[in-house]
Amino acid sequence: MFDGKVRVVEKNGYQKQVMSIYRFINDRLYYNRPDIEIKGEPYNSTILFSLLTGLTGGKELIIGEPGLGKTTSAEFVCSLMYQFPLGVIWGSEVSGHPEQTEEKIIGRPDLGKLNRGEEDVVWTNFSQVPVKIVDEINRLPETKQSMILDGVDRGNWEYLNEMIINDEYCLFATANYQDGGTNTIIAPLVDRFDVIVESRYPGANLSFIIGKNRGKNHILRHPKYEKDLYRVLKSKVAYEKKIPKMEEICNAFGEHVRETAGVKPLKREDRDRIRAEMEGLDLDLDASAFTRMILSELSFCERYGQKRIVENCEEGCHYTGYLCRQIRNCASNRLPTSIKSFARGLAWFLGDSGIDIEHVTSVMPYTLSHRIQWKDEVLSQKERAKRDDPFQIFLAKEAVKAVLQRYREQSDHLKDALALGSKIFQGAPLEPPEGDHPIYAEIRKDIRYRMNHGERLGDADDPEPV
Amino acid sequence: MEDKRLQGLIEEMWPRLKKKHLYPELPIPKIVKASAPAEEEGEGNEGVGLEMKEKQMTLNPAFISSMKDKMTEENLIEALIDHGITHYTFCPWDFQTHLMIYAEAKKVMGDKESAKQATNYFIDVIADTHCVKKRATEIPELHRHLKKRKVDQVIASLYQRIWGIDLGVSFSNSDGKGSEEVVRRLARIPYLDRSRWPESIRKFARSLKPLLVAEQKEKESRGGQGESNPQGEHDLGHYSYEEIDQGLRDYAQKTMGLSEFKEVVEDFSPELKERGYGIEGGMGRGRGAPVDADVLFYMKLSENYSIPLKKVPLEKSGKLHPHSHSPWEIGAPFQDIDIWTSFGKIMPGMTQVWKKKEGKGRGKIEGAPDCLIVIDSSGSMINPRKNLSYAVLGAACATNAYLRNGSKVAVYNFSDAPMGGRDIVDYTENREEIYRVLCRYFGGGTALDLEEIMPLIKGKKELDLFIITDMKITNLETLIGFFGKIKNRITAVHIGENPYAARFEKAVEKRKNINIFKVKKKEDIPHIVLGSIREYFDVTRKTGD
Amino acid sequence: MTQNPFEEFQSFQYRKTSFPLDRIVHTAEAVMDRIRLGYEKLLEEEAKELVWMVQYNTIIKAYEVAEKYIKEIDYSAEDIEDFCFALENTQRIPYLIPGPAGIYISALCNDAREEEIVLKLSELKTEINLIGFRLPKGKRLMVEGDTGDFTGIGIEGGELVVEGNSKNWTGAGMRSGKICVKKNIGLHTGEWMMGGEIHVGGRVRGLGNIVDGKVYEREKLVYPGKARYPNVYY
């Protein structure tokens, strides 16, 4: 963990390279306005979070009105981050409709062999390429949504007792706003997305230019490499053997893009090194304490032990001023993982030496908004508020802002309480920390458990948890 | 040129200052020349150093220049920005807290101006103390060099005592004893304990009252020209429309007291109007319109209880259509097999069948119907302009629910209607107009004039009725008879238990279109009404989607 | 060994600087706790059923008990004022029984180290009875606001100034000293008064059976005088 000392991140110029990809997409491919400011610099959230999804191997849900570039933004990012020509990306996409089948998503039996009484699987492009795009995921039946997200969670794709393993992958899914004609993405599935962003209307002027520049797709197309990649994907060799061949073609395509467009896409080894650099970044104490604080507000219930969607807040509860009172469900364990992963990606992208509270607060609304189920009264109170963001993201931003206010007031006290918790945990005979916020109650719970069971646990020589 | 240099300096300092305060969401402060030049502020007065309007801090270059012999520019700018940020991050934090502090100060001070003064001093003391305690700041240095009037001297002496930093303040013998005593009292206030701010401001105002009153008199003798606070005034300019909206809503809910809300709103009425905050146009805004505090109170309070309704209910068409695939099993019917995805094979695990689902289609009802609200304002009901009327609040919540769904609302407010004691507003979307009639109070007898209601109902294909009364209606039988004839959905809320209510209940108990809510405690009204309306419109729940 | 969930904070050292405000507030709170405790003990001993009758012996006894608890506390005039407001806050002090509360406040004033005490009680919703009881010579007690019944009874040479009104039985049994009521005063004023002066800025609603001493109404001597009779409403 971050020990407070400033670490110098070993920079290999990848930040510059990724930034140039960001600029290239922003200037040439996906015209939109900046909508967030981080460390004083304006960014477009759709491109930024898509880049971070590609870098961290995450899962992103892009929402927006029809025709506002949800899928294309993801395609451009995938093409430049993974060096795949657009033609291959298009051929690997899964489009969401109710009739979609497992065979079209993962793989099908080799019919020739089947007729000969042999069993073999022909894997789909979707399951084989590392960049996975699902268009209009909300139109897929829930079983298919779940199948894709399961596959992406584990990196395994199974069909007829055969399996391929992706060692590198990311997922981009798009969805229109919920209306009568589409299915919904159910809460347990939506929780699996790390972030949600909106592909917004770029404004009348930029929209006008988009209409003019129709040929921008050609920049990232190359028929020969596309055919080559298709050939490799279709070939009947083991998946593991296809990967180096694909990389070879991808590198050639990447070189072509560098020469023709002046932007250098990321090679496999670049991505690996970037991820290794990211691994070296830890949350500083403020970022960690703040994240714990918001997690406690999203999961705490004094009366029932934790938030549960089936239980309602009681009248007269002491903790009425916190988020737990405003929401229905409990934060999942995937939430902190998403927060840390994207904050780490952002800190790396900005060239910072650690993950600070601004990185965390910048990514948090996008990791939270689809996971929180607000109570009706909160929705109705705020639905008419002036805002720029979609309602869910707006509510999440407001929530983060409110908790940050609370954190500012008691940051030292909270860090002190956590330090005290650590000391008590290690056996120091100290009094548990006091404080009104749910996080203090959570610290006390952890300590109490340790105090009650400490000796037994400590003396048992249990193996370190893995 | 000079301004550019100072702006550059701020830009250089801003990332560090933001980090120091844990990244508040504030735009970078700007250097802007103050509208009134420093010379006009009076001899030796440096004018306002910092102003904050809708979260945008502006620093006055004239002030910075006037202080250059006393402090370095960097330190001065840092102190001013620290002060501004702490107002945002700690006190007052939001408009509701500002109103609460002011309302408590007013209880002690009695008059508006000195209550505002006490509020401003209190907010400043809290912000600066918080900053000095929690962060490395140049605020003490700033206070050391600011020119001080009597009250400022007392406040600076208070700082000396509670910060433990020498600011070079000492009292002369003539009034030293009195001032020392004030400082001693002020120093005992737990400024940093937010939960105790209401009692703290009262104590603060009580202790400072004689000095503030004297200052106020002095100001009046100068024709109302006071010296400006170099750290900026705390007026409504700090807040955006949305913050004011939210603040009023929260304050109405917190106080639940009409008179308190009214008093505060009326005190701020000129500023609210200046900020374009009338109550015209349904959104609570409109330049030049008078601020009717009663109406505003019910508007803001009812927003806390507003109901989310589905505008376009969906009705299932009942037809089945292929929706998704599932594996075929031996024994399962053949007719749903999808031969394409089964590759022509009938083989368990390979053959797939279509799973069919009931389709959805748009139903007949597009949104919610209009609503006629019938409200009783007879003598047995609470006067909504004097006390919190839960009847009006309930009707206000219903109004919001219908308006939100694009429906129109008409109001029939009655007391002794045949004698002229009634007010009617025809179907409208104008929230203000509806609220004005809802808040009307006659206080006479209770009789309905159905002939007046009929035109509001006739010709409306879809219409909901919402009646709120204590049922002590002299022509109750006529009303029961009338309700027996119509098929509209009726929500009837009656307050308290009485024989009339029981009679009404018995008479209409078999009518499915009438929902009755008995209210034993008046506090129940908003909740029960809301629950009912929610059931009414939550089509998904009804259809079991 | 179980995972320490706070491990990263192990080395965090919060530089707790001593902030004078915290010290002052903490000290004041501690004093207030002790004053409150004394009051609660007084109630326990003297008003067990939360009923207390104003009688000569109950007042004397309650005062002695109050003095006993006060002796152990180091407090200032501001603490007394804070206690008066705390009495109205039911969360902090559950019972405000006007009699014992007044006796206790009087004992606090009489025993305070300051010679002059100012109590700013104008926002207090309750008028405290028995305030100024046995105020000794050399002490000056100024009350901003109104006081209740039995104000300044048994004053022993001190000076009591009430900026507002005071109710019935003011100055009863006073021996020496001075009571100034800036506004109006109730019935039985100066009942069994043995000496000293009562000055009233407004109206005196009724005089008691005065043994000795002087009563002034708007600077005019009304006792001793011809036209005044005990408790005559005029």
Strand partners, B59: B31, B50
Residues within 8 A of A (CB atoms), C 11-70 only: 11-14, 16
Would you say A315 and A295 are in contact if contact means Cβ atoms under 8 Å apart? no
Distance from the A171 Cα atom to the nearest Cα atom in chain B, whole angstroms:
23
Residues A25 and A168 reside in one and the same domain: yes
Q: CB of B447 within 8 A of CB of B500?
A: no
User: Is the pLDDT confidence value at C98 over 90?
Assistant: no
- Asked, for residue A210, whether it belongs to a domain, the answer is yes
Number of domains in chain A: 2
C12 within some domain: no
If we measure between CA atoms, which residue out of C115, C112, C117 comes closest to residue C139? C115
Which residue, among C126, C132, C159, has the nearest Cα to C145 in the 3D structure?
C126
Spatial distance between the Cα atoms of C133 and C54, rounded to a whole number of angstroms:
13
C-alpha triplet A13, A16, A21: angle, nearest 5°? 130
Size of interface B-C (CB pairs under 8 A): 42
Structure tokens at C234: 């005029």
Asked if residue C10 is part of any domain, the answer here is no
> How far is the CA of A413 from the CAs of A290, A420, B363, C16, in angstroms?
12, 10, 57, 10
Domain count of the fold of chain C: 1
**How do residues A274-294 score in pLDDT, each as one tens digit?**
999 999 999 999 999 999 999
Q: B246, B241, B228, B234: which is closest to B98 by C-alpha?
A: B234
- DSSP letter at B512 equals T
Give the least confident one: A18-32, A236-250, B31-45, B264-278: B31-45
- Say if residue A406 is in the same domain as residue A289: yes
- The torsion angles phi and psi of A100, rounded to 5 degrees, stand at -60, 140
The alpha carbon of residue A376 is apart from the nearest alpha carbon of chain C, in Å, by: 33
Indicate if the pLDDT at residue A73 is higher than 90: yes
pLDDT above 50 (res B281): no
B77-to-B49, B67, B72, B83, B166 alpha-carbon distances in Å: 9, 11, 9, 10, 21
Whether A381 sits inside 8 A of B93 (CB atoms) is: no
- What pLDDT was estimated at residue C49? 60
Q: How confident is the model at residue B509 (pLDDT cuts 50, 70, 90)?
A: confident
Q: Which residues of C touch B129 (CB under 8 A)?
A: 21
User: CATH topology for B370-543?
Assistant: Rossmann fold (3.40.50)
**C-alpha angle with apex A146: A143 to A147, nearest 5 degrees?**
85
Residue B42 predicted with pLDDT over 90: no
A292 with A258, same domain? no
B108 to chain C, closest Cα gap in Å:
7
The answer to whether residue A347 scores a pLDDT higher than 50 is yes
Q: Of the candidates A244, A279, A314, which is a domain's last residue?
A: A279
Task: For residue C124, report the phi and psi dihedrals to the nearest 5 degrees.
Answer: -70, 130
Residue range C7-52, pLDDT digits in tens: 999 888 866 678 999 999 999 999 999 999 999 888 888 876 656 6
Question: Measured between CA atoms, how close is C95 to chain A, in angstroms?
Answer: 24
Give which of C16, C18, C21 to mutate to test B binding, by max B Cβ within 10 Å: C21
Q: What is the CATH number of the domain that holds A213?
A: 3.40.50.300
Q: What is the pLDDT of residue A180?
A: 42
To the nearest whole angstrom, how far is the Cα of B304 from the nearest Cα of chain A? 6
Query: Domain ends where: A263, A279, A295?
Result: A279
Domain ranges of chain B: 2-222+229-236, 240-303, 314-362, 370-543
Q: Write out the residue range of the structural domain in which residue C216 sits.
A: 20-223
Question: pLDDT above 70 covers what percent of chain B?
Answer: 80
Query: Which positions in chain B touch A364 (Cβ < 8 Å)?
Result: none
Q: Are A106 and A224 found together in one domain?
A: yes
Note whether residue C13 is domain-resident.
Answer: no
Residues A203 and A299 reside in one and the same domain: no
Over residues C55-62, mean pLDDT:
83
| Chain A contact set for B355 (CB, 8 A) | 141
Between chain A and chain C, the number of residue pairs with CB atoms below 8 A apart is 58
Q: Quick check: is C59 in a domain?
A: yes
In a domain? residue C111: yes
Q: Does residue C11 form part of some domain?
A: no
A212 found inside a domain? yes
Q: Which of B107, B133, B162 sits opposite C24 (nearest CB)?
A: B162
Amino acid C67: pLDDT: 92
- Angle (CA) B248-B251-B256 rounded to 5° is 120
Query: Is the domain of A305 the same as that of A434?
Result: yes
- All residues of chain A having their beta carbon less than 8 Å from the beta carbon of residue C16 are 416
In a domain, A134, yes or no: yes
Q: Give the sheet arrangement for strand B352-362, strand by strand.
A: B314-327, B352-362, B337-338
In C, which residues are within 8 Å of B192 by CB distance? 21
Q: A418 vs C6: CB contact, 8 Å cut-off? A: yes
Q: Based on the fold, state whether residues A328 and A447 are members of the same structural domain.
A: yes
For position B291, what pLDDT does the model report? 60
Interface of A with B in 18-47 (CB under 8 A): 39-40
Cα angle A158-A162-A165, degrees, rounded to a multiple of 5: 60
Domain stops at, among A279, A303, A319: A279
Question: Coil, strand, or helix at residue A196?
Answer: strand
pLDDT at B282 over 60: no
Phi, psi of B520 (to 5 degrees): -85, -50
Within a domain: residue C135?
yes
* Placement of tokens 């559950």 in the chain: C94
Distance from CA of B324 to the nearest CA of A (A): 5
Tell me, yes or no, whether A465 lies in a domain: no
pLDDT at B141: 94
- As a whole number, mean pLDDT of residues A425-441 equals 88
Same-domain pairing of A113 and A30 = yes
Residue A101 belongs to a domain? yes
Determine whether the interchain pair A416/C14 forms a contact, defined as Cβ–Cβ distance below 8 Å. Answer: yes
Domain shared by A153 and A295, yes or no: no
Question: Alpha-carbon distance A305 to C80, whole Å?
Answer: 43
* Closest Cα in chain B, distance from residue C87 (Å): 13
CB contact under 8 A, B189 and C25: yes
Please answer yes or no on whether B164 and C19 come within 8 Å at the CB atom.
yes
Domain assignment present for A464: no
Q: Which residues of B touch C (CB under 8 A)?
A: 107-108, 129, 133, 161-164, 181, 184-185, 187-192, 199, 202-203, 206-207
Question: Which among A101, A357, A376 has CB closest to B308?
Answer: A376
Q: Which tokens hold the place of B453?
A: 């209601």
pLDDT, residue C26, reads 93
- Partners of B53 in the beta sheet? B56
Computed from CA positions of residues B372, B373, B374, B377, in that sequence, does the dihedral angle turn out positive or negative? Answer: negative
- When pLDDT is cut at 50, 70 and 90, the band that residue C111 belongs to is very high
Average pLDDT, chain A: 88
Q: Look up residue A353 and give its two tokens.
A: 């030496």
Backbone angles phi, psi at B372, to 5 degrees: -105, 120
Residue A465: per-residue pLDDT? 40
> A92 and A189 share a domain?
yes
Estimate to the nearest angstrom the gap between the alpha carbon of A172 and the chain centroid. 9
pLDDT of residue B127: 95
* Cα Dmax for chain B: 108
Query: Does B242 contact chain A (CB < 8 Å)?
Result: yes
Residue A339 pLDDT more than 90? yes
The predicted pLDDT at position C230 comes to 54
- Whether residue A182 sits in one domain with residue A70: yes
Residue pair A265/A21 in contact (Cβ under 8 Å)? The answer is yes
Which of A159-163, B188-192, C200-204 shows the lowest mean pLDDT across its residues?
A159-163
What residue numbers bound the domain in which A226 lies?
14-279
Residue C229 CB neighbours (<10 A):
9
- Are the C-beta atoms of residues A388 and A311 closer than 8 Å to each other? no
Question: Which chains have 3+ CB pairs within 8 A of A?
Answer: B, C
Does the predicted model carry a pTM greater than 0.80? no
CB proximity A240 to B under 8 Å: no
Q: Find, among A407, A404, A400, A399, the residue nearest to A435 by Cα.
A: A407
Are B183 and B161 in contact, with CB atoms under 8 Å apart? yes
